Each structure stands twice: as C-alpha cells, then as structure tokens.
Amino acid sequence: MRMVDIIEKKRDGGKLSEEEIRFVIKGYSRSKNPIPDYQMSALCMAILFRGMDDEEIAILTDAMMHSGDTIDLSAVHDITVDKHSTGGVGDKTSLVVGPLVSACGAKVCKMSGRGLGHTGGTLDKMESVPGMRIGLSEEEFVKQINNVGIAIIGQTRSVDPADKKMYALRDVTGTVESIPLIASSIMSKKLAAGSNAILLDVKFGSGAFMKTFEKAKELAETMVKIGKALGRDTRAILTDMDQPLGLAVGNSLEVKEAIKTLHGEGPKDLVELAIEAGAIMLEQAKKVNNLDEGRAKIAQAMHDESGFKKLVALFKAQGGDFTYIEKPEKFPVSKYEIPVYAEKDGYVRRIDSLEIGLSAMRLGAGRETMDDVIDMSAGILLNKKVGDEVKKGDLLATCYTNRMGVEKVIEDVHNAFSLEKDPVKVPPIVHAYIH
C-alpha cells in the first residue's frame, strides 16, 4: 500500500477503505520512519475538498483514538458521563455542570484542555487555585471518580498522539476547517478518555470556532453519529456564543462566577445552560427518567448547595487549596481596575464575543502561544448583557489587568458593545438538542 495512491484516491472523490485509513494513521503516528508531513498535509487537503462519509469518519476517529493509550474506566462502579465544549468566551460551564451532575449521583469524568487565543481553558481556570493538580495517573483518576464522584484532568501525552500531530499540521496548512477532521479530532480524544456517555456543547457565533448555526449543526450531527457508531451514548446541544457566556471572562474571575452560580446567584444564561446540560447528562447516566425530572434535580442541587459542596470536594481531592472556593475573596485582585462606560443611551443589541475574548487575552488572561504565562487575576467583568437598557454614563464592563498601556484594549472593549434605540429580544442560550 502506498500513501500516494491513497492521496490520489481521495483527491478524485473516492471512498477510503478501513485498511487504507488505519494504514495512514498508524504510519503517521509511528516514531520510526513515519509518513512525512507533506504527504499527510496533501491528504488533509483532499479531505477538506472532497469530504468523508459517516463510515470513513467513524473509522478515522477509531484509528486516531487507538493511536495511543486509552483510559479504562471499567473499574468505575457506574455509568460515566463526560461533557465537552467546542470552546467559547466566558465558558466556565464544566465547573458548574460537573459538580451539579455529580451531586445528583452521576459519575463525572472529564479530560479538559487549556485555553489558546480568545478561548479559555478549564484547566487554566482550575489552576488559578493554588496547589491544584490536573495531572492524575489513571489509577488516581478512577479512584477519585469512585470516591468523590467527579474528576477533571488534563490530557496525557500518550493519549491520541495522532491527533496532536495532525492538529499541529492542519493549523499550518490551511486544513483546520474540515468537518470530518474537526469531528474526528474532538471525538477521538473524548472516546479515548473512556466515558460511557458524552454530551457535546457545540458553540456558534462570533466567539466560537463555528460562526453559523448551520455549520455548528453539521459538526454536532457528525460527532453524534461518530459516538453512536463507536458504541457511546453521544448527544449534543447547540449554544449561543454571539455574546460571552455569563458576566466573567478570565480565569479566577470565572471560577468566582462558577462559585456564585453554585450558590444560586449566577447569571441567567449560565444557569439556563447548566440546568439544560445537567439534565441531559443525568438522563445519560440513567439517574432520571426524563429531562424534566433532570432539570428539577439540577435546580435543587443548585438551591441546596450540594453542587457547591461537590466543587469543594473536587478541588480538595486534587490538592487545590479549597479554602479559595469557600472564601473566593482570597483570590488575588489585579492592580488595575478600569471601568468602561456607555457614551450614549440605548439597548444592547450585541456584545462581540471574539473582541471581548481577544481583549481579555491582551489584558493577560489568555495565551497567544502555548508558551505564554497567564495572569490568573486578569480579565473582564461585564455589567450589561444583550437586551439590557443602557443610559449614557452607565458601566458597561470593568477590565482587570496588571499591565500598563492598555488604552487600546479598553477602547476595543467599549466598541464590542453595539447599542440600538429600540428594545432587543434576548435569544435563548440553547438553540437545539441533537440525540
């Protein structure tokens, strides 16, 4: 079998066989004499233009998943559930939904990532708490899931090495925006993490990778098909990222907002998303008979603070100083707090998520490259959301930073708010449920 023949077959619109797909992934992943990058990039470009059918994508995902280690969760004494977000601005959902679902009796096991560019990462938020360990061994991971009911860790180097190589290659060859390649990248990591059930939170809008509802729906449907083809209960929700989620953007700021939400004091959109996602996960874990029962249980766990107690237990189990969760005033505060005021009356029509995310990064809250060091206290707190009435001089947002010379960033934050004269209808946070 020759790589050039496989490239030409896909270039001409042919369907790759299981043998051919596994040959490619095995050959590209091996340490000695791997398939060269220039041939792999040619195949990725052919896939970008010609696509893959459902069977090809499922085989590709399975081959990538088995290119390295997979986590064995058979020792967990229950159905395991996982949630994955495709990335957004202010998305601290895992720190809210995970504890709530666990407090309702389900086993939540999640392998998370770090933030890059305008999107935040769950691991970075968790590490804003001193001492927090995200590198657990598989034995520690399983033990914590059994004993605590929830564990959130980082991806190990040995999990899905094919995806690491392919993602880096796609990033520099203009082949990122391919639904088969995006879907197999996400799902191979999720499946390698070992959970029985997966809920995908697929974002769309200015602050999301998928800018339109239609493309997000296509991606979600593709990933759900992959999961089902490979024997996992996989479902998806499509959620709005045309404005930041909640009010806080930035690591410790988002942890504090997650804490407030678990005390029953969270912003409306985050609470709505947490209840809907949590209900689906409880149904997947077979802890409720239907979504209405699930919504009621999640809301109760928020009301009685059992979800908050589970968040404390999560940080305590992974070595974090849980007193920061109990007393969030312990988090360091940035040296500079810069208010952003409205210059006219109106109603908030839009808050550009991408601009807010990039501005938070420039204040120190994110990374432009993976080597950048994050300022955990930096970020942006919104004071207005879409639909809110604004008077000239009202506070739109507050920027937190330890950097000087950020006048342009403050201007960008102001310009991220679009106002109009007439009242604005507030869109729902969850637009579709695919299962």
Q: In tens digits, what is the pLDDT along the chain, a chain of 435 residues? A: 999 999 999 999 999 999 999 999 999 999 899 999 999 999 999 999 999 999 999 999 999 999 999 999 999 989 999 999 988 899 999 999 999 999 999 999 998 877 655 666 888 899 999 999 999 999 999 999 999 999 999 877 788 899 989 988 988 898 988 999 999 999 999 999 999 999 999 999 988 888 999 999 999 999 999 999 999 999 999 999 999 999 999 999 999 999 999 999 999 999 999 999 999 999 999 999 999 999 999 999 999 999 999 999 999 999 999 999 999 999 999 999 999 999 999 999 999 999 999 999 999 998 777 677 889 999 999 999 999 999 999 999 999 999 999 999 999 999 999 999 999 999 999 999 999
pLDDT for res 372: 77
User: What does the pLDDT look like over 72-101, one tens digit per residue?
Assistant: 999 998 999 999 998 889 999 999 999 999
* Interatomic CA distance for residues 226 and 256, integer angstroms: 36
pLDDT for res 371: 73
* Interatomic CA distance for residues 269 and 312, integer angstroms: 23
**Spacing of C-alpha 293 from chain mean position:** 26
pLDDT for res 217: 97
Is residue 248 within 8 Å of residue 385, measured between CB atoms? no
pLDDT for res 68: 92
Domain ranges of the chain: 3-65, 80-326, 333-420
Is residue 295 within 8 Å of residue 303, measured between CB atoms? no
pLDDT for res 115: 62
Fold (CATH) for 333-420: Aldehyde Oxidoreductase; domain 3 (3.90.1170)
HSE on the CB side for 378, CA within 13 Å? 23
Which residues are catalytically annotated? Answer: 84, 163, 170, 185, 189
Task: Report, at the CATH architecture level, how domain 3-65 is classified.
Answer: Up-down Bundle (1.20)
DSSP string for residues in 11-79: HTTPPPPHHHHHHHHHHHH-SSSPPPHHHHHHHHHHHHHH---HHHHHHHHHHHHTTSB----TTSSS-
Indicate the pTM of the whole model: 0.94
Fold (CATH) for 80-326: Pyrimidine Nucleoside Phosphorylase; Chain A, domain 2 (3.40.1030)
Which one-letter amino acid corresponds to residue 23? F
pLDDT for res 117: 57
* Interatomic CA distance for residues 197 and 76, integer angstroms: 13
pLDDT for res 391: 98
**Where does residue 139 rank: exposed (0-12), middle (13-18), buried (19+ CB within 10 A)?**
exposed
Is residue 292 within 8 Å of residue 283, measured between CB atoms? no
